[in-house]
Structure 1
Amino acid sequence: MIKPFGNNVSSVLAQPDFHNVASDAFDRGQTLPQMLIAACQRHAGRPAFTNLGHTLSFADVERMSDDLASYLRNGLRLEAGERVAIMLPNLLQYPVAVLGTLRADLVAVLVNPLYTARELRHQLVDSGAAALIVLDNFGSVAAEALQDTAVRHVITTRVGDMLPWPKSLLVDTVLKHVKKMIPPFRIPMALRWPRALAEGKRLPRVQAMAKASDTAQLQYTGGTTGISKGAVLAHTALIANVASAEQCFGHCLDPEKDVVMICLPMYHIAAYSNLTFDMAHGFHSVLVTNPRDIPALVATFDKVKPAFFSGVNTLYDALLNSPDFANLDFSGLKLCLQGGTALRRGTAERWKALTGKDVVEGYGLSETSAAITYNRWDAPNPVGSIGLALADVEISLRDESGNPVALGEPGELCARGPHMTTGYWQRPAETREAFFDGGWFRTGDIAKADGQGYYFLLDRRKDMILVSGFNVFPNEVEDVVSMHPGVLEAAVVGMPDEKCGEAVRLIVVRKDPDLSEDDLRAHCRKYLTGYKQPTRIEFRDNLPKTAVGKILRRELR
């Protein structure tokens, strides 16, 4: 049985009819699709996903994914274990594509739909994907990327394909001819999504034969510190993550009443874990296709009145900076989660003051099947903590030689348990480097711990700046700078320095156009010791980010 959340504190027990779903699936050795199909059948009459004003029930998702699975295996003749790349934004097609792929004993490869042709080709070649499911909006990119890949089959879909007539026609016509968001493309092997489902409906049903230990997914790393690699995630790892989440948050939420907003793109592990958690427990999930459209996001928030909301720090900031957001009713909001980047203290304080709810920070990676720590939602947490270890996760802070560090000392955060990747796809050397003896996965992040079991993330090991022999953690400097009321966003990277070896370089996006370099220097002198203060300060109109809002320090360097 998956152990309750937080080995160092009293457990938070979920409601009896809620918390056992994934834990029991884990104990029975089920695969991820087996768990999700059972949930779809159990909650068949409930609304499952809403997007663009249309809702699919759990019965719809189960039926359509079954048809897709039959087409992939019996129509395209894909063999068990082959990879299917899914290049879609948050649309109703997404859960159908994922569950259809998994229940056909195929491996899902989740692709950032905003990739360039070069980035897409790398992921297709690296994964050896045999099939690609792609939105028409990105068809021209896919057409350019397919050369010299192993892709034999392509399924293309339009935004309106899952919407009722005539809305589907209206949406697709506006996107193509008015907004010009669908560049022309030609993929000779491509088949349309509706036809794939229709043909699959007439084919024999798929009998899944996968084992729980088999690979379910290749989750590609964000590439913020180097080349993107495919983390191999087994069915057990993904189910264990859902089981940990239900032990942590089960008592807080009611699947029969609460609505969830999924704003982060579902190719990202944080949002993907949202998807599997919601499906496993029968939640109604509202999919936000473009969270960067803040006015539309605020309007959706107002209409949906979610009980469960998650995002990254930049998304929380964007909402807080919208005047209309302050006028909403937050009385139904129960749980707000944040991960992917460090939560800024100022952001957390503003959100609590406006909504009355804490932003609960967690920590995880693609390689750990999403979160492995979370703060308590039901109790005070130490300032700056990323939380306690989740159920069945062991954490150890270690030095460069793999030895545990003393309590309170910084060390590389290492973890082991059923949530962990088994390694990087077809990269044995990098897989060996990613683990210390004993199966401890090396996250590459520097953290420290207190005596109560709480962890505090200091920074990426590769982002750490060495100034005259002293370690400077960019997150700390960014946190201080972001406290200044004239700062909208800030990023810190190291730069070569003849005197100190490295020096601190600060890049700022102004909120106040009159903010000066002298103002920032005075602010930094107030809160930072000498060697942590920026040597160079630059102002920019924006910062480079990933699709989920993570600032790309690599590009700034």
Structure 2
Amino acid sequence: MESPWENLSDAIFHHAAIRPDAPAVTDNQGTITYRQFAELVGAAAVYLRDLGIGADDRVGLALFNHTDHFIIMFAAMRIGAVPIEVPAELPPQAQEEIFSRIKPKAIFVEAGLASGRAPIKIVVDAHWRRDLDGKSGDARDGRTADLNRLVLLTSGSTGPAKGIVITHRQFMARARIFDALLGSHWSADRPGKFLLAVTITASAFHHFFLCQILHGGPVHVLSRFVEDNDFVRAVTAQQDAVLLTTPAICRALLSRCGTRDKLLPNAQALICGGLPLSAAEKKRVLAHITPNFFEVYGAAGSGLITGVRPADFEAHADSVGRCAPAPIVEIVNADGVPVPAGGLGHLRCRGEAIADGFLAGSGSNTGPEMFRDGWYYPGDIATMDADGWITLKGRKSDLILRRGVEFYPFEIEEVLLALPWVRDAAVIGRPAKQGGEEELVAIVVPGEGFKPDSLAAHCAAHLPPEKRPVSFHRAVEFPRTPSGKTDRQTLRADFLAKTAAPPARPPVPGPQMVRR
């Protein structure tokens, strides 16, 4: 995707000029065309300028997915401000903590969820668009794509969320990588209808949403569903759908599959990001949901790094793919020295799509995820074979040491997820009753036909002794970050709290013998 644009918002005005009546965004309030989208973004840019917001000002957006959210985001880009997506789903205290670190000039929040402090604070309710009445024209800043920036927060699944600074030029480089990996099923020539199922505060969904706008294709915002059946009905009703999912969403879809017909026969592309599905799950998706299935791996600091195309799964179901044409990817040891092919190490990447670094004040450049010497380290441990196929082993922060052997929870979770009646699985450590190394505990979300008595035998048949859980526990669902990832910190804390032994009762005073 070669682009002369210096501002990501320019894409809206470009498509408004050549295809003004093409649908841009559909939400539960209706559909706007690209012409209407451009007019609203231009008016909102004037509105933001009149509020006193300007170039380089940080603008916090704690909003759900809806058209007004997107208008404000692109308007902030338009005037050279820096939009920062903050999950609206977070409790007020957690939002306050993020706002206190990113120090925005202005914040836009949902009605009824109005937390956070800033010099300018706007509540976006059902009537917010009336504030644009009388605003017309445009307030585009003339700076180049190297100076225009946006900030994405990391998922927070393994620690406090950090802000990652991305220039518009870096994002457009990322869009070209998307085209290289997914262009056979999703591109400007074939945009389909992008179904937005998760809030764009999640970096993967933010990337796909922006790429669809760059394509000039329609975005259909899916409502927030409580029941999986409602979600499945909404997805299957769409033709030529391009659907980005998380492993949790894929598992929900798999749980609704029949034995004959594919669940999404008309899907243009089903794409799964986040931690990889197990090899068995990927094959079930291809067999029962759609043959147009992709798996992608990336991060907020890099955009897409690798991808697996439909034809690759038969031979490489255990892999997250080969690296895209643009980024340079290496697997290195703790000293930054590349390891031999097949060796285990830290994944790192560099290239024109890599972010500038962390937003000042949002977190330090330490820990598993970091920028160092021109390289970005997402914090993942992986292997890469001689042909460039990458297999993720887990997060550096999730490393388990047991009986002298190092391994990662996903190695055990993948074995459990191979069982069709296990819908989701997570492995955590708990303090051993007699001290020493932590015990491994598996927590599973049962699927149809669940066979709890078979779990231990299945693990014994497929795992060495040091990797076998000592106990298995059921959960209705797992706590999730706003991006849909399993929140391992909360899961472990909740489990330990529920299974902790009750405090010992103080002894009841009794008769005492007094020695003389």
Q: What TM-score range do you get, normalising by the shorter chain? A: 0.7 to 0.9
Which residue number in structure 1 is paired with residue 445 of structure 2? 509
Q: How does 1:459-538 map to 2 (within 5 A)?
A: 459-497=394-432, 501-511=437-447, 515-516=451-452, 518-538=453-473
TM-score normalised by structure 1 residue count = 0.82
Equivalent of 1:338, from 257, 268, 272?
272
User: How far has the Cα of 1:117 moved from its partner?
Assistant: 0.8
Residue 89 of structure 1 deviates from its aligned partner by 1.8
Q: 1:138-194 CA distances to partner (integer Å, 9 max, x unpaired)?
A: x3x32xx33xx3342314222xxxxxxxxxxxxxxxxxxxxxxxxxxxxxxxxx512
Match of 2:349 in 1: 415
**How has the CA–CA distance of structure 1 residues 36 and 432 changed in structure 2, closer, same or farther, with 3 Å as cutoff?**
farther
After superposing the two structures, state which structure 1 stretch, 282-291 or 248-257, moved more.
Answer: 248-257
Classify 1:323/1:386 alpha carbon distance in 2 versus 1 (closer, same or farther; 3 Å): closer
Q: Distance in 2 between matches of 1:292 and 1:403?
A: 48
Q: SS state of the match for residue 556, structure 1?
A: helix
5 Å-filtered alignment, 1:161-172, equals none
User: 1:383 and 1:350 mapped to 2: Cα distance?
Assistant: 11
In 1, Cα distance between equivalents of 2:232 and 2:454: 33
Asked whether 1:93 is paired with 2:68, we answer yes
1:70 paired to 2:5: no
* Distance change >3 Å, CA 268–CA 456, structure 1 → 2: same
Partner SS for 1:489: strand
- CA shift for structure 1 position 265: 1.5
Residues in 1 aligned to 2:301 and 2:258: alpha-carbon distance in whole angstroms: 38
The amino acid across from 2:32 in the alignment is L
Counting only pairs closer than 5 Å after superposition, residues 54-133 of structure 1 correspond to structure 2 as: 54-73=30-49, 75-133=50-108
Within a 5 Å distance, the mapping from 1:203-222 to structure 2 comes to 205-222=138-155
How much has 1:261 moved relative to structure 2?
A: 1.3
TM-score computed with the length of structure 2 as normaliser: 0.88
Distance in 1 (alpha carbons) for counterparts of 2:191 and 2:145: 31
**2:497 aligned residue:** none
Q: CA deviation at 1:246?
A: 1.5
| Residue correspondence of structure 1 range 39-438 to structure 2 within 5 A | 39-52=15-28, 54-73=30-49, 75-136=50-111, 139=112, 141-142=113-114, 145-146=115-116, 149-158=117-126, 192-201=127-136, 205-253=138-186, 255=189, 258-322=192-256, 330-368=264-302, 370-380=303-313, 381-427=315-361, 430-431=364-365, 435=370, 438=373
Q: Write the letter of the residue equivalent to 2:155.
A: G
Look up the match of 2:375: 440
Structure 2 counterpart of 1:543: 478
Q: Against the structure 1 CA distance between its residues 326 and 108, is the aligned structure 2 distance closer, same or farther, given a 3 Å change threshold?
A: farther
Q: Report the secondary structure of 1:547's partner residue.
A: coil
Per mean C-alpha deviation after superposition, the further-off stretch among 505-514 and 123-132 is 505-514
Q: Which amino acid aligns with 1:407?
A: A
Change (3 A) 1:511 1:207: closer
Task: After TM superposition, give the deviation of residue 247 of structure 1 in Å.
Answer: 2.3
Displacement, 1:90? 2.0
For residues 323 and 343 of structure 1, do their structure 2 counterparts lie closer, same or farther at Cα, with a shift above 3 Å needed? closer
**Which residue is equivalent to 2:502?**
none
Cα distance in 2, alignment partners of residues 270 and 40 from structure 1: 26
- Shift in CA distance, 110/316, structure 1 to aligned 2, threshold 3 Å: same
Check conservation: 2:56, 2:82, Cα contact below 8 A. yes
Instruction: Look up the equivalent residue of 1:319 and give its one-letter code.
Output: L
How far apart, CA to CA, are the structure 1 residues paired with 2:85 and 2:139?
A: 22
1:215 deviation in Å?
Answer: 4.8
How many Å separate the matches in 2 of 1:49 and 1:429?
34
CA distance in 1, matches of 2:330, 2:257: 43
Corresponding position of 2:389: 454
Identity %: 23
Shift of 1:220: 0.9
Write the deviation string for residues 463-500 of structure 1: whole angstroms up to 9, x where unpaired.
11111221121111111112224322210122344676
Is the alpha carbon distance of 1:77 and 1:437 closer, same or farther for their aligned partners in structure 2, counting shifts above 3 Å?
A: closer
Q: Could you say which structure has the greater relative contact order, defined with CA pairs below 8 angstroms and 6 or more residues apart?
A: 1
Cα deviations by residue, 1:234-254 (Å, 9 ceiling, x for unpaired): 112211111111122223246
2:9 to 6, 18, 33: 33
Task: Mark the CA change 1:293 to 1:510 in structure 2 (over 3 Å): closer, same or farther.
Answer: closer
Q: Which residue of 1 aligns with 2:505?
A: none
Q: Cα gap change, 1:510/1:51 in structure 2, threshold over 3 Å: closer, same or farther?
A: same
Q: CA RMSD in A?
A: 2.5
| Runs of at least 5 residues in structure 2 that lack an aligned partner in the other structure | 493-516
> 1:105 & 1:213 partners in 2: Cα distance?
11
2:417 partner amino acid? S
The one-letter code of the counterpart of 2:480 is: K
C-alpha displacement of 1:325: 11
Kindly indicate whether the alpha-carbon contact (under 8 Å) linking 1:492 and 1:553 is maintained by their aligned counterparts in 2.
no
**Residue identity in the other structure for 2:83:** A
Q: Which digits, 9 at most, give the CA deviation of each residue in 1:376-417, with x for residues without a partner?
A: 345455121111212321111111121111110111111111
Give the secondary-structure state (helix, strand or coil) at the position aligned to 1:452.
Answer: coil
1:514/1:329 CA distance change after superposition, 3 Å: closer
Greater helix proportion: 1
Paired letter, 2:7: T
Give 1:450 deviation, angstroms: 1.1
Q: What residue number does 2:495 align with?
A: none
Q: Could you say what secondary structure the match of 1:194 adopts?
A: helix
Kept in 2: contact 1:466–1:503 (CA 8 A):
no
Cα displacement string for residues 336-385 of structure 1 (whole angstroms, at most 9, x for unaligned residues): 111112212333222222234153111111222x3221113454551211
- Residues 58 and 84 in structure 2, CA contact (< 8 A), matched pair in contact too: yes
How many Å apart are 1:533 and its aligned residue? 0.6
Displacement of 1:60 after TM fit? 1.1
Paired residue secondary structure (2:353): coil
Structure 1, unpaired ranges of 5+: 1-21, 159-191
Cα pair distance change 1:378/1:94, threshold 3 Å: farther
DSSP 3-state at the match of 1:534: coil
Checking the alignment, whether the CA contact within 8 Å between 2:107 and 2:118 is kept in structure 1 is no
Larger radius of gyration: 2
Deviation, 1:256, is 5.9
1:493 aligned counterpart, secondary structure: strand
Q: Which moved more, 1:485-494 or 1:335-344?
A: 485-494
* 3-state secondary structure, aligned to 1:501: coil
SS in 2 for 1:217: strand
Which stretch shows the higher mean deviation, 451-460 or 296-305? Answer: 296-305
- Indicate the larger mover: 484-493 or 377-386: 377-386
Q: Please identify, of 427-436 and 287-296, the stretch whose mean Cα deviation from structure 2 is larger.
A: 427-436
